[in-house]
Amino acid sequence: MLALVIRVIFVIADLTIVSTVYQDSSSSLVDTSVRSNSVIIGKCCEPNELMLDGRCTLAKEAHHATKLWKPKFTDEQGHPLAVEPEFELRIGLPRCKNNEKQWDIYHVPDTSIDLLMILPSGKLRHCIECDVVDLDKIAEVKGQDNGNNRIYYDYDFGTYCTDEIILSNDETPKFYARVCLPSNQRIMQPDYMMRRVIDPAFRAISIVCYLIVAVVYFVLPQLRNLIGNIITSMTMCLITSQCADMVRIFTEFSNHVSFLVADAITYISLLSAFFWLNILGYYIWKTFRSRNVFLRVTDGRKYCYYSIYVWCSTAGMGAMAIFAHFVLDTNKPTIDNVPYVPQETIGWLGVAVFFTPVAFTILLNLWFVITTMKSIKRLNTYGRIHHKMKYSFRMFVFLFIIMAVSWFFTLLSWMRYELIYCYIVVNLLQAVLILYVCVFGQRRVTFLLRKTCNCCSPNETSQGLDWGEEMTAINVG
């Protein structure tokens, strides 16, 4: 009996749930039918927000009336409608295509040459250089071209958003719209070719050159000493800098990447590369200055100490630069020519914090070069270690000159727009020259590569090797 009562209760509960679901589904169908008759209007900010200097802000915080913004519909002649259609607001910025960019339009009554109207169909009409007298002519022209300059432009839902905006220099509320405009860049323009085609290709070649240097000094056991580890670490930092800098070239993918993060990675990697170059100069300078080259500290322990110095210095300067950008910098640049929301990039104050240590490392490396040359001239006899360090010093001098010149052209490209083309070429030359100096310009490295690849000529002897690789030649020969 008890089981029968429980079963009846479950059946009644199931029927109640089914009826509730049916009512909800029927009501939702009614709601969708009502929504299907309404006009969809794009709004940039939330219903209780407006735009203050380009940012969505609560109406209360903007010291503006709390009256919610609503679209004002007009006919094609610009006259207000007697009966406004039902509308539904969709919040968000327009989703532009890759070949389009976002553009801001401001409409100030009685003073603006740009007239914005919301038609009953939900389209946004932008009339350029129109006044009240010309409104009656809009319907007659009907969007025809007049010398390739149309009188008005219509934007469908999804390609625009509207809102009310207040600027700091003028507290008068304005009608604002952000629309998607086709980009005027052409693929065959010289500037587009240099920035979007040649520059990425050159950077890809540079990455390959740096990768070859890193692999050679990491794979060959004879080069896996302290100097080889420093060269490998420096080239890996340059590879990271090139990859992050390449991300900033393609601004059409702004919705998927953060240009602020890309800038930070670029500058931090470049700064760490100069710190590694400074460590190389310091190690060579210390070796020639020391009276006893047979020190108890191993190369592995030295590399650990140097790594702590490089990464701690890089992290400290990077944190200072990011702090200066977010807290102290008042003029933060943005990338506007993007299909989505304009993104913030590292300002000049942050860049200055990044590049000031680079300038000091260049001056310190110059002092290492001068003092080490004097120490070499005072040496009367050369041991095997001094003999090897002499060629390492020559490699350091070449690397110092190449990276200092490239850094100088980076600064010039920011001062003059035309010099950015020179920087693109110099950036490639830097990678090619570093590959030549570290690999193909050293007889010891090329000898080890030929022996490892088993491609040396049978008549080649071990005479004249700069680094004393006679035992290597005997072992692999």
**Do 416 and 348 reside in the same domain of the chain?**
yes
Residue 237 sits in the same domain as residue 165: no
Within a domain: 453: no
Do 368 and 263 share a domain, yes or no? yes
- pLDDT number for residue 91: 86
* Within a domain: 468: no
> In which domain, by residue range, is 291 found?
190-441
12, part of any domain: no
SS3 297: coil
**Domain end residue (candidates: 161, 182, 203):** 182
What is d(CA 439, CA 433) in angstroms, rounded to the nearest whole number?
10
Coil vs helix vs strand at 464: coil
Could you give the 3-state DSSP secondary structure of residue 371? helix
Q: What is the SS3 assignment for 351?
A: helix
CATH number assigned to the domain comprising residue 112: 2.170.180
Q: Are residues 171 and 201 in the same domain?
A: no
257 and 293 co-located in one domain: yes
Residue where a domain stops, chosen among 122, 150, 182:
182
Q: Which residues of 248-263 are buried (b: 16+ CB within 10 A; e: fewer)?
A: beebbebeeeebbebb
Which segments in the chain show pLDDT lower than 70? 1-36, 62-67, 98, 109-113, 129-151, 171, 183-189, 251-257, 291-297, 334-342, 380-387, 455-477
CA atoms within 13 Å, Cβ hemisphere of 25? 6
Do 216 and 172 sit in the same domain of this protein?
A: no
| Residue 450: predicted pLDDT | 84
Task: Determine, yes or no, domain membership for 450.
Answer: no
Q: Is residue 156 assigned to a domain?
A: yes
Given this model, what pLDDT does residue 146 score? Answer: 44
Distance, in Å, from the CA atom of 363 to the CA atom of 374, rounded to the nearest integer, reads 17
3-state secondary structure of 91: strand
CA–CA separation, 361 and 369 (whole Å)? 12
Could you tell me if residue 33 is inside a domain? no
Same domain, 274 and 419: yes
Alpha carbon 36 to its chain's center? 41
Instruction: Taking the CA atoms of 145, 148, 153 and 159 in sequence, report the sign of the dihedral they define.
Output: positive
Same structural domain for residues 230 and 131? no
Q: Are 156 and 196 in a shared domain?
A: no
Q: How many domains does the chain have?
A: 2
pTM passes above 0.85: no
DSSP state of 384: H
Q: Is there a single domain that holds both residue 281 and residue 404?
A: yes
- Per-residue pLDDT reduced to its tens digit, 74-90: 887 777 887 878 888 88
- Cα(207)–Cα(315) distance, integer angstroms: 24
Query: What's the CA gap between 206 and 313, in Å, rounded?
Result: 26
d(C-alpha 11, C-alpha 14), whole Å: 5
Q: Domain containing 310 — which CATH number?
A: 1.20.1070.10
User: Could you give the CA distance from residue 96 to residue 113 in angstroms, rounded to a whole number?
Assistant: 25
Q: Are residues 204 and 304 in the same domain?
A: yes
Q: What is the DSSP letter of 81?
A: P
> Within a domain: residue 5?
no
How many Å from the N-terminal Cα to the C-terminal Cα in the chain?
A: 99
pLDDT of residue 443: 84
Q: At 107, is the secondary structure helix, strand, or coil?
A: strand
Q: Which pLDDT score is estimated for 250?
A: 76
Domain finish residue from 182, 199, 221: 182
H-type helices in 99-181, by residue range? 135-141
Residue 32, domain member (yes or no):
no
Q: 380 and 242, same structural domain?
A: yes
Look at residue 161 and give its three-state secondary structure.
strand
DSSP 8-state code for residue 90: E
